Amino acid sequence: MYDIYMVEEGDTLDSLSDKFNISKDKLKELNSMSTFTPGTNIIIPKENEFFEVYIIKKGDNLYDIARRYNTDYNLLALLNGLNISDYIYPNMTLLVPKKNVKYYITKENDTLSNVNKLLSGNINNLLNQNKNIYLKEGQLIVYKD
């Protein structure tokens, strides 16, 4: 969920922050640097309509992060390939569900019709928002109202 950007002559922390619509603090945190030298590759979060990127801070835990973002901590763990009992560390990044997006992890014998009903969605929107739907157990299906 990241892009690599090569810093160009004239780029500043302010201009990069504006250009990529990211806070200066988050940009510094992601790249572990406060100045950006031309020719240096930096990490920029990729825009995504379904997830936000959260950088774990000292003292964070999945339950508190999930509560802060009004989501279920089990889903937060699943989305990030974690078990509830896994340790998380400062500077790790998590994908956090955005508001107004529904998520479903497929189960054995799911059908497209059943998934659509569970998400209370429009079937055409569901298909447009998910590039490939295989309905194999464990596939993430998203739906944005």
Domains contained in the chain, number:
3
Q: Which CATH number characterizes residue 34's domain?
A: 3.10.350.10
81 vs 113: which has the higher pLDDT: 113
Q: How high is the pLDDT of residue 108?
A: 92
Q: How high is the pLDDT of residue 60?
A: 95
Q: How high is the pLDDT of residue 22?
A: 81
- The beta strands (E) that lie in 40-129 are given as 41-45, 51-55, 93-97, 101-105
Query: Which pLDDT band holds residue 86 (cuts at 50, 70, 90)?
Result: very high
Asked whether residue 120 falls in the same domain as residue 140, the answer is: yes
∠ Cα 31 32 38 (to 5°): 55
Asked whether residue 83 falls in the same domain as residue 121, the answer is: no
DSSP 46: P
Q: Span 16-23, mean pLDDT?
A: 84
Asked whether residue 119 falls in the same domain as residue 88, the answer is: no
Q: How high is the pLDDT of residue 1?
A: 57
Q: How high is the pLDDT of residue 43?
A: 86
Q: What is the pLDDT of residues 68-77, one digit of tens each?
A: 999 999 989 9
- The beta strands (E) that lie in 9-116 are given as 41-45, 51-55, 93-97, 101-105
2 vs 105: which has the higher pLDDT: 105
Q: How high is the pLDDT of residue 18?
A: 86
Asked whether residue 76 falls in the same domain as residue 110, the answer is: no
Q: How high is the pLDDT of residue 127?
A: 93
Name residue 22's amino acid.
I
Q: Which domain holds residue 85?
A: 51-97
Total Cβ atoms within 10 A of residue 75:
16
Q: What is the pLDDT of residues 22-66, one digit of tens each?
A: 888 888 888 887 788 899 999 887 767 888 888 899 999 999 999
Q: How high is the pLDDT of residue 47?
A: 64
2 vs 18: which has the higher pLDDT: 18
